[in-house]
Structure formats: structure tokens, C-alpha cells
Chain A
């Protein structure tokens, strides 16, 4: 790697963020290109770690010094050694992989933002938070301990909040009647995202501190990932089991991913997060930040497997994995149904993001369950991370294409578009590739990764029955079934989205714009080149599966992987391929009739069939979960606060306060004269204090 790459790959974007206001003083152009340059340099440093992982040893390229002959490699500085607090980076396949996803897509999207955000008056703020986000995200994934990871976790949360509400000054009418302007609405969306994820973050923090307290009790306080799983310091886990807090702790630990990755029941913030600029949605709310939760689960899962094996308590692994898998599968289904009926193009993509992250959680949970029944989590772990990669690419592609469309048409509503194929051919091709990849159509990358997940669930069911775990086996089939149904729905809404935007006849709105002379134009090269790059990766991404597998399992104990093409054959001839084909038929045929060929008008169809209308309404209102939260949690909280306000605050506290205020006021009136506002007198008081201390020393 390049010297100090694990540090600089997040240090450089952070420095770039801090320098942005200074560069802005020189010239706006310097600021724009400077910010992009910093993110690209950060990416180069992140990329330079990849060959080290493949080689299995860490080498400084400039001096030729071998820093470590094995993976993982850890570089750390002890800060407060007695408390086990340190600052460090961990170079292992997962961290390098995530760092490359974050900084690579970050750099690409920064380039795209040069075109998309061109001319915005608040660009300094934009570049600052964007670079700061990339730095924070890479810090999160490179961290070698929970504490530092949590710092990164909070940085990305803060940047997400600031960037969702980026256009808080907009004066257009609000899309929701509760707010006056669109700016206010945007600010509210940021707030909602921040508060909802905060619920999960608090749970995560409690879990981290619980683990820390128990490592303290075991005599070696640490946050370090490697030390937590090492046999030498395993005593903390035994104490944790003995105290009965293990299961609550690992469930609370999963609370962080639930919030950050928008899983049920905290998924409600992500659709609102689309109020930000599309580049922000693409980078933060599709490709990287929402993957932080998946990263955390993938990070702790191997630790849990090892630790629970060492202390002979694999039941905890079962509980944890089952929760992860079930929440993942349910979220995937839930969000997909919402995506089926959404009207705004970015909302469709948001729902599909939630749904696809559900897939990743499902895969990791399935991996954990296979680990429980057969002792090896590699299958599910690989499926989850592989889907993470392919999803990051094609979802960023979809968002950026949507951004190009929004940029050209200046509307968010899909039904106000239509017929854009003739105006924006490049964007159409790129978005089509993205959508097909999302839907899991062979041979795009999404097909291979999704197929791997189905395969993992299939293996789980078979292994469980073979080892005599009937319940887990049944669960495996149910999970597989939900995943397949979700795949069908995914295909349905992908086709719906593409067809409505590009193929349907032009809407009144577009015609009016054309009439007024505001012609819809293809995106400029600075925008479509990143699109084309992402589209190319989406097409051929699946081919890298064998190499990816080798990469991910470098340094794993007991897993030997070689580059082989068998992996494709295994997938193509596994029984799950039939289910995939079935899903394609199930989702594709209705979608073709409703939207692609437009033989049946969906609106008329809903008019005719009351049942589908009810279902549509149910889905469109997001299963009423959002309303439920607003009514019960927000409303309940306000009611409770009002009650407390009336009876406790006004009745007791206020009266006490009046009395207190009266006492204080009389007191201060009496002593007012001593407060001269004069430094000299204050210093004389200090001298009196010194005299008192000296007297104490003498006679005390």
C-alpha cells in the first residue's frame, strides 16, 4: 500500500473538508475542483490497500518494508492505555472493501456533483459536508475498535442530517401541507432522519458500553475488535453470560444497524431522506451510510461466532442470527410493497434501498444460522457482502440517473414525466441497466448477488434438516420464500419505474415545458460519464464473483478459497434458479401488461377492482406504520408531555421555582455591591483564596 494508507484514506477527505472554506476564499472553481480532488486522492489511498489483501501481506510500496506478513494488519496508537482507549486502523478484507466502496463511489459522485450542483449558492457547505461524510464513513469502516467506529457512526449521521436539509432555504410551496415552504419541509426531513436513527444509536452505544464494562471487569478494558475475539481476553464474554445480559446486549447492538440501515421498525426515515439533493441520496442514502449497519453486522458476526464457540454458548448466535434474518426478510418484503405504488421516482428508489438492505441482513442472518447448525458462516457472509457491493453500484447508478432526469425535468413525480427516451437516450440506457440489475435479471451483477443469497437460504434449509434442526429448516424455507416473492415485486416496480418515466406518452407537464421552449436536454458529460462507468460495472460486476470471494476470505481461519469459475455453474444449476425464473415471470408478466406495453391501464384496473384498490391504498400509505408512529409515539409523547406539564411542571415545579427565584433575587440584591464587574477586585478575591489554601496547608 501507499505509506500510511489506512490513515490517510480517511484523513485526506477530512482535511479536504476543513480546507474547503479556505479554498472558497481563493476562487469558487478552486474550491469545487479541490474538493473533488481530495476525495479522489482519498480513493487512491484506499485502492492501494487492495493488492495487499490479495497478497496476504502488507507492504509499504515506497520503502519496500513489510509491515505485516498476515491479514488482518492493525496499526494503532494507544491514547489512554489504562482505560484501553486507543486510536487505530484495521486492515482486513471487510474494512478495505467497505473503504473502497465508500471512497470510490464517493469520488465518482463528487465528479457527478460538479455538474449536478453547478451554480448552487451554498456549495461551500455542500463540499464540506460531502468530504466530511466520506472521511467519516471510511473512518467508521477502518476503525479497529468500537469507540472509534462509533465516532465515525455519529459523524456520518450528522452529515446525513445536514445534507438532507441542505436546501432548507427553498421558498417553493411545500409538498406536504403541514409546512409553509419546501425549505421547512426539507429541514423537517433531516430532523426526522436524525431523531429516528438516534433511537438505534443509543441502543448501540448502550451495547458497546456494556461490553466495555464487562471487559473492564474481566481485567482488560478494551474496545478493540481483535482483542475482543482473542482467546486470551475471552473472560469478558463468560462474565457477560453469567450476568444474563448477553442476549439483551447483542440485541441492543443490532439496534444500531436497524436505525442506520433503515430496517423495520425504524425504516420510516429513509423515504423522507430523499428531500436532499440527489447526489446526497445516491452516496449517503443508497450506497454507503445505510450500509454502515450491514457493515457492523458483518463485523460483529465473525467475532460472535468465535467468541460463542470459545465459551460454549452458541445459543446466543442462534438468537442473534434469527433476529437479523427475520427482520431482514420482513423489511425486504415490506419496503418492496411500498415501492410498488410510490409516485415519486426517488421514493421508489428509497423503498427499494430499504428492501435490498433487508436482503443483505437476511443473508448475514442466514450465514449466522448456517454457522449455528453447521459451524461455518462463510456462505451467508459472502452473499451479504457481495450483494452489498453490487447494490452499492447499481443503486448509485439508479439514483444518479434519476438525478439527471430530475435535473432536466425539474419535477419529482414520475407521472409528470413520460416519453423521456427520445430526449435522454444515454440516461435511459444507463438507468435501464441499473433497473435490470436491481431486478435480478441475468447476466447483470444484481442477478448473481441475489442468486447467491437464495442459494445461501437454500443451503441453510438443507443443512438444518440434515443436522436435525427442523425449526430452523422450516424458517430457512420461509425466508427463501419471502426473498423470492420480494424479488418478483422488485422486478415489478423496476419495470413500472422505467416504463412510466421513459416509455409512456409525454405528460401534460412535459408538453407544456416543450411548448414554453424549455427543452429537455441530455445530461452534460460530467454527469453521464460517471453514469456510464457505473453502468459498465453493473454489467460485468458479476464476473468478478470468484475474485471477490477470494478477496473476502483472505485471513479467515479455516476457509480456503481459490479463484474458480465453478461458482457460476453452482449458481446456474442450483434448484433456486427455478425460483428466480418463477419470480421473474410472476413480477414481469403483470408489469409488462400494465406498464411496458400499456395494454391495461393501471388506473382503470384499480377503479374496477375494489380489492386491489384497498391494497394499493394500504401500500401507498406505507402500511400506516408512519401514521401509527406519528399518532402513537409523537402524539403520545406530546400528550404525555402536556400532562406532565400541567400537573407536575405548573403545579409543583413552577411554584418551587417562584420560591427559589424569590430567595435568589433577595440574596443577590443583598450581595449586589460586591459584584463590581472589576477584574482587580476579583483578583483580590483570588488572593484571599490563595491565603485560605496556604492556611489550610499550614494548620489543616
Chain B
């Protein structure tokens, strides 16, 4: 087994990739992909930190299970909104949707 650090590092890098995606991409689908990467990074962190030689923390795992369900719900909602936006505006560019700005 490799150390905990590798996994924590991997989670940190995933998190960074997600943030980078959200900060630079303009396609809504890409943004949703970024959100999912962020969620996955958090899950990896949870699981990695709950796995020690002292014991395995079942609570952290059950939290991750619940969080996976919630994340899936969030993404499904985001996708359906995307579809509506696409039909309404005819584009996926997030910058075109700024009608609320005055």
C-alpha cells in the first residue's frame, strides 16, 4: 500500500482541476463536469482519511454514500436546466445568459 499522502495529494489535484474548469470554461456541460470532479475530490478525501490502521470509520463511508446520491440529484437537475436553457437561448455559452445583470 502506498501512503495516505498520495491519496490526499490526488484529491487536492482533482479539486484544483475542478476549480480550474469552473474558472475558465464557458460551456455549461463543461461546468457541470467540473462540479462533478469537485464532488469526487471531496469523496476521495473522505474515504482516504477514514482508512487508517487504527480502524475504518463507517460513518465517513455512510456520509459518502449519501453524498453520492445527493450529488447525482444535483447533477440531474443541472442537466435538465441546461436543456431548458439550450432550448431557450439556443446556446450553451454561460456568458450569454446574463439577462439579470443591469
Query: Which A residues contact B (CB, under 8 angstroms)?
Result: 675-680, 683-684, 686-687, 690
- Whether B100 and A683, one on each chain, are in contact in the complex, defined by CB atoms closer than 8 angstroms, is no
State in angstroms the CA–CA spacing of A680 and B31 once bound together. Answer: 10
Q: Which of B3-11, B18-26, B49-57, B60-68 has 4 or more CB atoms under 8 Å from chain A?
A: B18-26
A666, chain B: closest CB distance, angstroms = 16
Chain A, Cβ-Cβ closest to B28: A679
- Whether A679 and B31, one on each chain, are in contact in the complex, defined by CB atoms closer than 8 angstroms, is yes
- Whether B23 and A678, one on each chain, are in contact in the complex, defined by CB atoms closer than 8 angstroms, is no
State in angstroms the CA–CA spacing of A677 and B98 once bound together. Answer: 6
- Whether B24 and A676, one on each chain, are in contact in the complex, defined by CB atoms closer than 8 angstroms, is no
- B74 at interface by CB-CB < 8 Å: no
Tally A-B pairs: CB < 8 A.
Answer: 29
Task: Select A683's contact among B22, B98, B101, beta carbons within 8 Å.
Answer: B22
B78, chain A: closest CB distance, angstroms = 12
* Chain A residues closer than 8 Å to B95, beta-carbon distance: 678, 680
* Chain A residues closer than 8 Å to B101, beta-carbon distance: 675-677
- B94 at interface by CB-CB < 8 Å: yes
Query: A687-B19, A690-B19 are known contacts. Are A680 and B98 too (CB-CB below 8 A)?
Result: no
State in angstroms the CA–CA spacing of A444 and B62 once bound together. Answer: 59
A572, chain B: closest CB distance, angstroms = 64
* Chain A residues closer than 8 Å to B24, beta-carbon distance: 680
26 chain-A/chain-B pairs, Cβ below 8 angstroms: A675-B101, A676-B98, A676-B101, A677-B98, A677-B100, A677-B101, A678-B94, A678-B95, A678-B98, A679-B22, A679-B94, A680-B22, A680-B23, A680-B25, A680-B26, A680-B94, A680-B95, A683-B19, A683-B23, A684-B23, A686-B19, A686-B22, A686-B23, A687-B19, A687-B23, A690-B19
* Chain A residues closer than 8 Å to B98, beta-carbon distance: 676-678
* Chain B residues closer than 8 Å to A676, beta-carbon distance: 98, 101
Size class of the B contact interface (CB-based, 8 Å): 10 to 19
B30, chain A: closest CB distance, angstroms = 11
State in angstroms the CA–CA spacing of A198 and B58 once bound together. Answer: 44
* Chain A residues closer than 8 Å to B23, beta-carbon distance: 680, 683-684, 686-687
* Chain B residues closer than 8 Å to A679, beta-carbon distance: 22, 31, 94
Chain A, Cβ-Cβ closest to B102: A672
State in angstroms the CA–CA spacing of A676 and B100 once bound together. Answer: 10
* Chain A residues closer than 8 Å to B19, beta-carbon distance: 683, 686-687, 690
A695, chain B: closest CB distance, angstroms = 16
* Chain B residues closer than 8 Å to A677, beta-carbon distance: 98, 100-101
The 6 nearest A-B residue pairs measured at CB = A677-B98, A677-B101, A683-B23, A683-B22, A679-B94, A684-B23
Chain B, Cβ-Cβ closest to A681: B23
State in angstroms the CA–CA spacing of A684 and B24 once bound together. Answer: 9
State in angstroms the CA–CA spacing of A687 and B20 once bound together. Answer: 9
Q: 8 Å CB contacts to A: which residues of B11-61?
A: 19, 22-26, 31
Contacts A676-B98, A677-B98, A686-B23 supplied; 17 other A-B pairs, CB < 8 Å: A675-B101, A676-B101, A677-B100, A678-B94, A678-B95, A679-B31, A679-B94, A680-B24, A680-B25, A680-B26, A680-B95, A683-B19, A683-B22, A683-B23, A684-B23, A686-B19, A686-B22
A667, chain B: closest CB distance, angstroms = 16
State in angstroms the CA–CA spacing of A536 and B74 once bound together. Answer: 56
Chain A, Cβ-Cβ closest to B15: A690
Q: 8 Å CB contacts to A: which residues of B87-102?
A: 94-95, 98, 100-101
* Chain B residues closer than 8 Å to A678, beta-carbon distance: 94-95, 98
Chain B, Cβ-Cβ closest to A675: B101
State in angstroms the CA–CA spacing of A677 and B100 once bound together. Answer: 8
State in angstroms the CA–CA spacing of A676 and B98 once bound together. Answer: 8
State in angstroms the CA–CA spacing of A54 and B71 once bound together. Answer: 49
* Chain B residues closer than 8 Å to A686, beta-carbon distance: 19, 22-23
A681, chain B: closest CB distance, angstroms = 8
* Chain A residues closer than 8 Å to B31, beta-carbon distance: 679
* Chain A residues closer than 8 Å to B22, beta-carbon distance: 679-680, 683, 686
A674, chain B: closest CB distance, angstroms = 11
* Chain A residues closer than 8 Å to B100, beta-carbon distance: 677
State in angstroms the CA–CA spacing of A57 and B10 once bound together. Answer: 58
Chain A, Cβ-Cβ closest to B19: A687
Chain B, Cβ-Cβ closest to A680: B23
State in angstroms the CA–CA spacing of A690 and B23 once bound together. Answer: 13
Q: Which of A679, A684, A686, A687 has the most CB of B within 10 A?
A: A679
State in angstroms the CA–CA spacing of A684 and B101 once bound together. Answer: 19
A670, chain B: closest CB distance, angstroms = 15
Q: Which of A676, A680, A686, A687 has the most CB of B within 10 A?
A: A680
Chain B, Cβ-Cβ closest to A678: B95
Q: Which of B19, B23, B24 has the most CB of A within 10 A?
A: B23
B88, chain A: closest CB distance, angstroms = 16
State in angstroms the CA–CA spacing of A507 and B72 once bound together. Answer: 67
State in angstroms the CA–CA spacing of A196 and B25 once bound together. Answer: 55
State in angstroms the CA–CA spacing of A678 and B98 once bound together. Answer: 7
State in angstroms the CA–CA spacing of A687 and B21 once bound together. Answer: 11
A678, chain B: closest CB distance, angstroms = 6
A671, chain B: closest CB distance, angstroms = 13
* Chain A residues closer than 8 Å to B94, beta-carbon distance: 678-680
* Chain B residues closer than 8 Å to A680, beta-carbon distance: 22-26, 94-95
Chain A, Cβ-Cβ closest to B95: A678
State in angstroms the CA–CA spacing of A203 and B26 once bound together. Answer: 54
State in angstroms the CA–CA spacing of A683 and B98 once bound together. Answer: 16
Chain B, Cβ-Cβ closest to A685: B23
State in angstroms the CA–CA spacing of A678 and B22 once bound together. Answer: 11
State in angstroms the CA–CA spacing of A460 and B89 once bound together. Answer: 78
B58, chain A: closest CB distance, angstroms = 16
* Chain B residues closer than 8 Å to A675, beta-carbon distance: 101
Chain B, Cβ-Cβ closest to A686: B19
State in angstroms the CA–CA spacing of A384 and B95 once bound together. Answer: 69
State in angstroms the CA–CA spacing of A687 and B26 once bound together. Answer: 17
State in angstroms the CA–CA spacing of A360 and B23 once bound together. Answer: 68
A274, chain B: closest CB distance, angstroms = 44
State in angstroms the CA–CA spacing of A667 and B43 once bound together. Answer: 40
State in angstroms the CA–CA spacing of A537 and B23 once bound together. Answer: 72
* Chain A residues closer than 8 Å to B25, beta-carbon distance: 680
State in angstroms the CA–CA spacing of A686 and B38 once bound together. Answer: 13
A349, chain B: closest CB distance, angstroms = 48
State in angstroms the CA–CA spacing of A677 and B102 once bound together. Answer: 9
State in angstroms the CA–CA spacing of A212 and B60 once bound together. Answer: 31
B62, chain A: closest CB distance, angstroms = 15
State in angstroms the CA–CA spacing of A302 and B98 once bound together. Answer: 64
Chain A, Cβ-Cβ closest to B26: A680
State in angstroms the CA–CA spacing of A684 and B23 once bound together. Answer: 6
* Chain B residues closer than 8 Å to A684, beta-carbon distance: 23
State in angstroms the CA–CA spacing of A207 and B26 once bound together. Answer: 55
A61, chain B: closest CB distance, angstroms = 33
